[in-house]
Structure 1
Amino acid sequence: MSTVQVQVDRNSRTPLHVQLAQQLEAAIQGGELPVGSRLSNEVDLAEAYGLSRPTVRQAIARLVDQGLLVRKRGVGTQVVGNSGQVRRSLELTSLYDDLTSAHRKPETDVLRFGISPATAEVATALQCELGDRVLRLERLRRADGEPLALMRNWLPPEILETDPATLAERGLYQLLRAEGVRLKVAHQTISALPATPEQAKLLSEEPGSPLLATTRITYDDHGQPVEYGSHLYRASRYSFEHTLVHR
């Protein structure tokens, strides 16, 4: 049976079961708890970590929900890795296309759809004037029914004719391609942000949980910006993969 070193901060605003789950997740991702290993039972874990059984049970349940652990009758709680995580290569593709290619079922809740004045940030990205009309989209993307990403996009309104119902059924890049827009290149940044209470609620995470944040400016084959995106992904469910080449 496996145990790892865990230290919880009882003065932290983060619940104890979340702290425990996060540290066990880090041990799984880092290989300290390898795939196939079994965890000690709840009683032993509670004693080892100085925590209550309900706290340990909540932490284990959280990792089971994330697909990192599985409970098997007669076997106990076993590490199964992060097979439920979406891995995405750094290419000019959309999340919708990537999920479809991975045989995952993409679903979309359209949270906001309409014309808005361009903020300074959006105007710089789309090379337009401050206050110009832009199409603003906000969506919650699910994979196989599970929340995965909060997506905000701004586009020049003349390049895309769509509606919320269509946007809920198809990917944005798919719609742009159908309009004859040829996506050529994008500039993207990746960082991390803590989830706000509102974001955490939408993504089924705890407030303060790490989110993978990306911003992307996409250009067409004429070098014109056609989309500015600002997206938040669940770090527990999503990662980027890329290959580094020595020069």
Structure 2
Amino acid sequence: MSQVPTYFEADVRLDRNSPVPLYHQIAQPIEELILSGQLTPGTRLEDELSMARRLNVSRPTARRALQQLGDHGLLVRRRGVGTQVAPTRVHRPNALSTIFDQMKADGHKPSTEVLSYGASPANQEVSAKLEVAPGTNVTTIRRLRMIDRQPAGLMFDMIRSSIAPAATALERDSFESALAERGVVVTMARQAVSARKASGPEAQLLRIPAGSTVLSIQNVSYDESGKIAAYGEYLFRADRFALKNTLFAH
């Protein structure tokens, strides 16, 4: 008699002729089950070796699928237990505040100049960042953010062309508000913040000495379905911008 697994095995149908990477085809239906509540916190998932054997894929492919779910905050690995659906976070409700909104709230007058706007097929690197199939039409946008008519930040965004906001909308409002005009509501963003030196061209646009320290933010925005809406890389002058966070114990 075969033993019933004590972990969840996703019913995944793989299209090996599809341009969508296999790891994404594995991760996407599992993500949908977690976000819909069908997979509850604490549910154990099979490990990468079991998944690779069952789905007839390489172990690195299975590992990347689980890693993608972990990067989205949906899975956790516990020593002696394995991979589980992450606990639901209980937090104080708070609206997703944009940098544009923050500047307004602080009494400043933000404005935006679109430096470049164009579309091209996504290569492997771009498709991985947006989790789309290689060759998908992606629009890249470079903007200069001004505060009280003084340059404060450089903003680079990549987004599927099918939902890309118009350049004119970006010049009058925040990226998120311009997206909302296209019917896309951003409900969550993940950010990685660091410091680095500005290159010569970057410094020239920001009107700072070359090599000055700038604040660097990598931003991934998600829509209501949990799908990546846009990927952005932003640079801000350290003397014109401060990142403020309020943390709560839990």
Please classify the TM superposition score into its range, dividing by the shorter chain length: 0.5 to 0.7
Distance 1:206 1:152, change over 3 A: same
Q: Return 142-151 or 180-189, whichever deviates more.
A: 180-189
Cα distance, 1:235 vs. partner? Answer: 1.0
Q: How far is 1:244 from its partner?
A: 3.1
Give the letter for the 1:137 counterpart.
Answer: I
Alignment correspondent of 2:192: 189
Give the TM-score normalised by structure 1: 0.59
Which of 202, 206, 215 is the aligned partner of 1:203?
Answer: 206
Displacement after TM superposition at 1:119 (Å): 4.1
User: In the TM superposition, what whole-angstrom CA distance separates every residue of 1:149-168 from its partner, at most 9, and x where no partner exists?
Assistant: 00000111112341x33322
Residue equivalent to 1:243: 246
SS of the aligned residue for 2:242 comes to: strand
**Alignment map for 1:105-184 (pairs within 5 Å):** 105-162=109-166, 164-184=167-187
Runs of 4+ in 1 over 4 A off after TM superposition: none
Match of 1:234 in 2: 237
Question: RMSD of aligned C-alpha atoms?
Answer: 1.9
- Whether 1:100 and 2:104 are equivalent positions in the alignment is yes
- Distance in 1 separating the partners of 2:118 and 2:194: 27
Cα distance, 1:209 vs structure 2: 0.5
Q: Greater CA deviation, 182-191 or 124-133? A: 124-133
State the AA in 1 paired with 2:217.
T
Could you tell me which runs of 5 or more consecutive residues in structure 2 were left unpaired when the two chains were aligned.
Answer: 1-93
Between the aligned residues of both structures, percent identity stands at 32
1:222-244 deviations in whole A, cap 9, x for unaligned?
01110111000001111111123
Say yes or no: does 1:220 pair with 2:223.
yes
Q: Structure 1: state its 5+ residue gaps.
A: 1-89
Query: What is the TM-score when the length of structure 2 is the normalising length?
Result: 0.58
- Alignment partners' CA distance in 2, 1:146 and 1:91: 28
Taking a change above 3 Å as real, the CA distance of residues 213 and 121 of structure 1, as seen in their structure-2 partners, is: farther
Q: CA deviation at 1:126?
A: 1.1
Q: 2:165 touches 2:179 (CA, 8 Å); kept in 1?
A: no
Mapped to 2, the partners of 1:177 and 1:131 lie a distance apart of: 25
Trace 1:70-89 onto structure 2 (pairs within 5 A). Answer: none
Contact 1:182 1:221 survives alignment (8 Å) = yes
Distance of 1:172 and 1:150 partners within structure 2: 13
Aligned positions, number: 157
CA distance in 2, matches of 1:195, 1:219: 28
Write the letter of the residue equivalent to 2:222. Y
Whether contact under 8 Å (1:147, 1:204) holds in the other structure is: yes
Aligned to 1:65: none
CA distance in 1, matches of 2:99, 2:138: 22
Aligned counterparts of 2:151 and 2:159: Cα–Cα separation in 1: 24
- In 2, Cα distance between the equivalents of 1:239 and 1:119? 34
The verdict on how the C-alpha distance between 1:96 and 1:119 changes in structure 2, with shifts beyond 3 A counting, is farther
> How many angstroms does 1:99 deviate by?
1.8
Deviation, structure 1 residue 137: 0.6
CA distance in 1, matches of 2:182, 2:248: 35
Higher RCO (CA-CA < 8 Å; seq separation 6+): 1
Deviations 1:28-84 (A, max 9, x none): xxxxxxxxxxxxxxxxxxxxxxxxxxxxxxxxxxxxxxxxxxxxxxxxxxxxxxxxx
